[in-house]
A and B are shown apart, each in its own frame.
Chain A
Amino acid sequence: MTLIRVENLVKTFSVAERRAGLWGAVKGLAYRRHRVVRALDGISFTIETGELVGYIGPNGAGKSTTVKALSGILVPDSGRCEVLGRTPWKDRIANARDIGVVFGQRTQLWWDLPAIESFDLLRDIYRVPKTDYVATRDELIERLDLRSFLDVPVRQLSLGQRMRCDLAASLLHRPRVLYLDEPTIGLDAVSKLAVRDFVRSMNRQRQITVILTTHDMDDIEALCNRVMVINEGRILSDGTLDDLRKTVTTERWLTVDMLDGAEQVSDPDAEVISHDGARITLRFDPDHVSAAALISRITAKYPVRDLFVENPPIEQIVARIYAELKL
């Protein structure tokens, strides 16, 4: 069932320009120049219930503008948008009851109070019935392992602890949709895994639809079966992670660990891209030569101790996409 439908959203902003220097500042007292920015230039997509969608793009591409329109914070210039059958900016309050938002950099918890009190306050804000609230809250506390620091004022929590509390806070009212904006930024490895685990289980078991904007490609790889790439207000790509990879390249990488570090490796169908001590990485096109054939050739010619085949890291893929976009 279609949960979110976006058709041709357009949004422009007018940005004031600053002038440099002391004299420029005095001139700025009299008049200001403005520049028009097209943040959204006809965005369209649909999202079904239970999807976990990644939304990526360079800075300033329009990711947060899209999320703002979907959460009812921003009124677009033109286009249609339906979340759970409602237009978010027209039915702000009704829409707000069914969504949860986590901003990675800013917490929604009250700074001087323990997290548990923030939860209680949110319960009143969202008008969650008592029994539902207690059940949901306790379940979230269990899942995210919050019990040990629930009584500590939020300002004293570590980033990882705070993020877990923020995740719990965003789900106390059992929203149908969850918008996550950079949820793992600045977190340590353990916390990142915990967050990803949690989001995945919420999506699978509770059918919560998730839209994830992030720069961390590990998040995308771990969680998303669908990725949308946006740049300069337009959606460039919308499909699975493999589809995305293939738009850039079909190449694959073969990494071999040599018995003797000084050995060089070469093959007519493969190109060496890195040689780090005893580890050599080659790239090849599977349409030209199959992985199996390449492996048998190389292991026959050279003393190989260990090897593995992988796709180029999604980081690289996306970096290449972004680099092409800048041109």
Chain B
Amino acid sequence: MADSIRLYFRYFGVSVRGQMQYRASFLMTSFGTFMITGIEFLAIWALFARFGSLRGWTLPEVALFYGLIHVPFGLSECFARGFDLFPGLLKRGEFDRVLVRPRSTFLQILGADVRLGQLGRFLQGLVVLLWAATALNVTWTLPRMALVLGCVTGGICLFCGLRVIEATIAFWSTESLELMNCLTYGGVETAQQPLTIYRPWFRRLFTFIVPLACINYFPAHAILGRPDALGTPAALHWVSPIVGFLFLLLTIEVWRFGVRYYTSTGS
């Protein structure tokens, strides 16, 4: 296990060094990503300026939801990019090379690419989160801060898992299914607002199927010290980020299934 982590960091170094050669592009991409993702929050701010509140939620509270989703998503966009590139890899016939090496396919694909340029999204999410932390009427106890960390970690696992599923689909269809895009980016779009504004079936989608609620909506209630208007127990709010991790484990099994399919039908 430690060996695999070492290997991942070797891959990491390789990717970063490869990208550092194009320094101007890297800076421009980071800035660009910061702007394009930051502008989403600007839009939310503009709407709050016009409407004043969102069904009882204030801007700092919405900022908390926003930050708790974009920070892990941004980090996963940096570190799990290997899976985004997988369909291209598969099309070029380079997956055979991966299979010929004595390592898990998951690890090799994960390490295939690290996009530090995506740190832009993480940074703007972090900025919003920090602003929310100061603007909210919340005492930042150690458990609360640990919960935030848990949300970020669980969130990274969850988004990684979504990417793994999206990549696994490439084994069957040459064009990656936009449905996954929809659940990932659409999910982020959804979860950056409090779930109470959505219809019940929508809420259930993002609680049970793609459990984004577990990494920002429920924990936010623990942080804000509020009871959930939807009636979930307070204890749940503290442990829900673990669902993200379990989700990742599930997707790894799906990946393995995909690899078995590939090896039995050939390229």
List chain A positions with a Cβ less than 8 A from chain B.
11, 13-14, 39, 65, 68, 71-75, 89, 92-94, 96-97, 99, 101, 103, 106, 108, 110-113, 117, 121, 124-127
A124 touches which one: B7, B93, B265 (CB < 8 A)? B7
B100 touches A96 (CB 8 A): yes
Nearest B residue to A74, CB-CB: B266
A73 touches B99 (CB 8 A): yes
Min CB distance A228 to B, Å, is 21
Chain B residues, Cβ within 8 Å of A110:
14, 18
A121 touches B10 (CB 8 A): yes
Min CB distance A97 to B, Å, is 4
B103 touches A68 (CB 8 A): no
Q: Indicate with 1 or 0, residue by residue over B91-102, a CB within 8 angstroms of chain A CB atoms.
A: 011101101111
A126 touches B101 (CB 8 A): yes
**Could you name 10 residue pairs across A and B whose Cβ atoms are closer than 8 Å?**
A73-B96, A89-B263, A96-B102, A103-B97, A106-B92, A110-B18, A121-B10, A121-B14, A126-B101, A126-B102
10 closest residue pairs by CB, A with B: A112-B18, A96-B102, A75-B264, A97-B102, A73-B99, A93-B102, A75-B263, A101-B100, A73-B96, A124-B10
B232 at the interface (CB under 8 A from A): no
A14 to B103, CA, bound (A): 29
Residue of B3, B6, B96, B100 most packed against chain A (CB within 10 A) = B100
Chain A residues, Cβ within 8 Å of B108:
125
A201 to B17, CA, bound (A): 36
A14 to B104, CA, bound (A): 28
Contact of A11 with B94 at beta-carbon distance under 8 Å, contacts A99-B100, A110-B18 already known: no
Min CB distance A77 to B, Å, is 9
B21 at the interface (CB under 8 A from A): yes
Min CB distance A82 to B, Å, is 17
Chain B residues, Cβ within 8 Å of A117:
14, 17
A106 touches B100 (CB 8 A): no
Residue of A39, A97, A99, A124 most packed against chain B (CB within 10 A) = A124
A92 touches B10 (CB 8 A): no
A96 touches B101 (CB 8 A): yes
Contact of A124 with B96 at beta-carbon distance under 8 Å, contacts A65-B266, A94-B102, A113-B14 already known: no
Min CB distance A29 to B, Å, is 13
Contact of A71 with B100 at beta-carbon distance under 8 Å, contacts A106-B93, A110-B14 already known: yes
Chain B residues, Cβ within 8 Å of A124:
6-7, 10
Nearest A residue to B265, CB-CB: A13
Min CB distance A187 to B, Å, is 20
6 extra A-B contacts, CB within 8 A, seeds A113-B18, A126-B102: A72-B99, A75-B263, A94-B102, A99-B100, A106-B93, A127-B102
B100 touches A73 (CB 8 A): yes
A92 to B104, CA, bound (A): 10
Nearest A residue to B261, CB-CB: A75
